[in-house]
Amino acid sequence: MHFNTEEGSPNLKFDIAAPREWSYALGDTIIGNVVRHSPIVASEAELTVMLSGRVKTKVCRYENSSGPPGSSGSKTTYRSEFQLLDLVPEVVYQGPLHLPEGSDETLDWPFQVTIPTQPAERIRNNQQHPQVFLSGSFYSNPDPDGSQCKVEYSLTAILKYKFGRDREHKAIWPINIRHIVPECQDRYAVRASRSRKSLRSQRLLPGMDNASLSLKQGFKKFFHTSSVPKLFYDAEITMPCVIQLDDPQPLPVSLQIVPCRDQTSEIIKDTPQEFKINWINLLIHRHTEHNAQKHHPERPHDKPVEHSETMMLDTGLQRLSHNMDLPLTTSTGKLNEPVHLGNMFQLTFSPKGLSSGTKPLTPLAKIYPEFNTYRISHKNSFEWQVSVSVAGETRLHKIMTEVRVIDAV
């Protein structure tokens, strides 16, 4: 799937007031100039500028095989495209043009375009569920089977004139639009997610935490004899239900080890256990669903073909935790307090992934906020991985947390 890229030449190019990587909000005004450096003589010329936006989806299916490419099955590709805006060019200049050969001057045409807040009325009227606001820019990573989707915006300038014959030059400038920040009733709510583990060991008994087990004790432990005490506990991650990209405050996430008294052996219920947190990692799961139709004149009402994709991004937090003061010791006794990971690592969250203070961790594929638009739905979930040791045993916890990611203001 082709993605819009900047196009320009001495014949025609954009000079935008904002930096190339600038992100615009809905309702912002794009200000700039269209510039020509090449010489020209024309008695009549017309320059237009147009802002366009579209949703484009592609779904690939392989028949008589398990796919993906390289298999012997036949491939069917379904494509759909929505133009989100009215494609009405604005005439920026109309008249004669003259720029002599060898001149150091340029032809400059100032313009300004305001980004709408809603899709075109004709789009809203033709949809069963009209969208109130425009979606922000989005690009999915291509699946191995070729399926892909995007929401993209761009400025296009076209200069038309006659010099012996009709001539035309075009320039394109991709526009990055931020997703609207929705009203969130649970904006400051927190959610606790848990992973439960258990272990049997004589080292759970008071004063036995560092003891060497005899051969007999080792056999009893191996065969899970009922006389060997058993501990159940939860590794609990508490974090906000909603996270905003580029929030400068450390991510308010905490980890706590919580004993499960009702399932733990009676003999050790009141015995504080010392846990060591060996390392911590965070994986971000990007979930994208989209659909497309194969337009057939004899079957105009065919149902769309669905496609879903989950991309797992490793934030690199594990490497950071190895370089810090871990293992960290925590107890299940009266002094059991949560470990505030966000403050400990000074974690902040941006579209590029996690940072520790001002230092970005592993670069990631771009993280997008949650959104729904025509044919595309996108959301994120977090998988925390925590390695802990207690009584000489090590357990790995994988804790899934549902989180709503919203865009920066």
Please give the tally of structural domains in the chain.
2
> How many other C-beta atoms can be found within 10 angstroms of the C-beta atom of residue 359?
9
User: Which two three-digit tokens encode residue 93?
Assistant: 């200049």
Is 2 a domain residue? no
Identify whether 212 is part of a domain. Answer: yes
State residue 215's pLDDT score. Answer: 61
| 169 & 220 share domain | no
Residue with token string 């915006």: 153
In a domain, 206, yes or no: yes
Residues 173 and 198 in one domain: no
Query: Would you give per-residue pLDDT tens digits along the chain (409 residues)?
Result: 777 899 999 999 999 999 998 999 999 999 999 999 999 999 999 999 999 999 999 999 887 655 555 555 688 889 999 899 998 999 999 999 999 998 999 999 999 999 999 998 877 776 655 567 899 999 998 888 889 999 999 999 999 998 878 999 999 999 999 999 988 777 789 999 999 999 988 788 876 666 666 666 555 555 566 668 999 999 999 999 999 999 999 999 999 999 999 999 998 898 888 899 999 999 999 999 999 987 654 455 567 899 999 999 999 999 888 777 667 888 887 778 899 999 999 999 999 999 999 899 988 889 999 999 989 999 999 999 999 999 888 999 999 999 999 999 8
Using CA atoms, how far residue 224 sits from 195, 201, 220, in Å, is: 22, 9, 6
Encoding tokens for residue 274? 């010392």
Q: Across-strand partners of 284?
A: 313, 382
> Do both 194 and 310 map to the same domain?
yes
Beta strands in 7-147 (DSSP E): 13-16, 23-24, 29-36, 40-63, 74-83, 90-99, 107-114, 138-139
Q: Is residue 184 part of a domain?
A: no
Q: ω into residue 68 within 30 of 0, thus cis?
A: yes
Give the pLDDT of residue 297: 47
Domain that holds residue 18: 13-177
SS3 182: coil
Whether 7 is in a domain gets the answer no
Domain boundary among 156, 177, 198: 177
Same domain, 143 and 194: no
167 and 257: one domain?
no
* Residues listed for the chain: 409
196 and 317 both lie in a single domain: yes
Give 317-339 as a DSSP string. Answer: HHHHHHTSS-SEEEESSTT---E
Q: Which residues fall within 8 angstroms of residue 236, CB to CB, at 6 or more apart? A: 192, 193, 194, 255, 256, 257, 258, 399
**Looking at the structure, do residues 138 and 213 belong to the same domain, yes or no?**
no
H-helix or E-strand spanning residue 251: none
β partners of residue 240: 190
Phi, psi for 251 (deg, rounded to 5): -60, 120
> Residue 42 domain-assigned?
yes
Are 172 and 155 in contact by the 8 Å Cβ rule? The answer is: yes
Q: How far is CA 168 from CA 11, 89, 309, 329, in A?
A: 10, 15, 41, 70
Indicate which CATH number applies to the domain containing 78.
Answer: 2.60.40.640
DSSP conformation letters of 331-384? ESSTT---EEHHHHHTEEEETTEEEETTEE-S--SPP---EEETTEEEEEEEEE
Q: Same structural domain for residues 159 and 301?
A: no
d(CA 196, CA 263): 11
In a shared domain, residues 228 and 351: yes
112: tokens are 């300004």
| Same domain, yes or no: 209 and 145 | no
Say if residue 138 is in the same domain as residue 238.
no
Query: Which of these three, 151, 177, 203, is where a domain ends?
Result: 177
Contacts of 262 (CB under 8 A, 6+ apart): none
Domain end point (choices 177, 203, 221): 177
Residue 99 counted as domain residue:
yes
Q: Which residues of 16-38 are buried (b: 16+ CB within 10 A; e: fewer)?
A: eeeeeeebbbbebebebbbbbbe
Furthest-apart CA atoms within the chain: distance in Å: 102
Are residues 203 and 155 both part of a single domain?
no
Q: Quick check: is 183 in a domain? A: no
